[in-house]
Amino acid sequence: MNTNNDIVQLKKNQLKLLADYRRQLYKNPILKFLFLELTLRCNERCLHCGSSCGDVESNEMTFVQYRKILEDVKKDFDLPSFQLCITGGEPLLRKDFFDIMGYANELGYNWGMTSNATLIDKEKAHKLKECGMKTISVSIDGLRESHDAFRRTPGGYDKAMRGIEALIEEGGFKAIQVTTVLNHSNMNELDALYDIFRDMEIDSWRVIGIEPMGRALQYPELLMTAEDYRRLFDFIREKRMEDMPVTYGCSHFLGYQFEREVRDHYFICNAGIYTASILCNGDICGCLDIERRPEMI
């Protein structure tokens, strides 16, 4: 029978191998995820938004520019080997969204999207499938009252849940995921959220902690404590043994106690080795979850 020390030593050995592999990727990166940030505009103004999206000016590339980018990437990379990840702001606010993504689909891209789903109805769900969307991650950040307050959008919870139901009813997507950003004030809603999502026909629930960047820096009282994180990791580890796939997000090394316990893989920062991102103004960076400083562009 393995002791805790044996498990820790096994994880140390595996992480050393992973670190050696990661050093090789510095010289020979492999594109697995290409993020396109279509806009900084959003119909919600979330307290945690790392990009400070909302009713803001957004210097956005045109459809013609995106078409050229999509054509160039297709020439330089093997399309089946990576996923195109569409994000914002709220991508569906772009009037030419279906033109851009329809062209990506025509070129053969495998793509998915992050959305607040408030703009998704039966018609849009059908159009998303028609233009090739394979996966979507929808933000639900607590029960109705806390979700709407956190995202500063009255009625946002109900609109988002209707959007998810429209996607489920449409069917034919590879994965419908719910992502929840936890903060110090909504930790007590974990069990209730699990009960809700377990009874929905979603494919997974991704839980992440609020990050001290962007707009979240204005609300330090929302940052999670060490106790919050331990409670969250214990919750995820327990629920992963039950019916619905629950996972922690990709951020941060979690220590030997929780690595490989709350997600399917060990932590590895993908920025610049597996992941590249194109901002809505055309700037290129490694990852959209990194603070936007000039030296990172």
pLDDT digits (tens, 9 = 90+) for 91-132: 999 999 999 999 999 999 999 999 999 999 999 999 999 999
4 in a structural domain:
no
Q: Which domain holds residue 238?
A: 31-296
Distances (CA, A) of 278 to 74, 102, 151, 214, 227: 15, 19, 25, 18, 36
Rounded CA separation 192/235 (Å): 12
The answer to whether 91 and 129 are in contact (CB under 8 A) is no
CATH number reported for the structural domain that contains residue 257 in this entry: 3.20.20.70
**Would you say residue 40 lies in a domain?**
yes
Determine the average pLDDT of the residues in 69-87: 96
pLDDT at residue 77 is higher than 90: yes
Supply the pLDDT for residue 95: 96
Residue 15, domain member (yes or no): no
Q: Is residue 21 part of a domain?
A: no
- Residue 197 included in any domain: yes
Q: What is the tally of structural domains in the chain?
A: 1
Radius of gyration of the chain, Cα coordinates, nearest whole angstrom:
19
75 occurs within a structural domain: yes
In a domain, 17, yes or no: no
Please check whether residue 62 lies inside any domain of the structure. Answer: yes
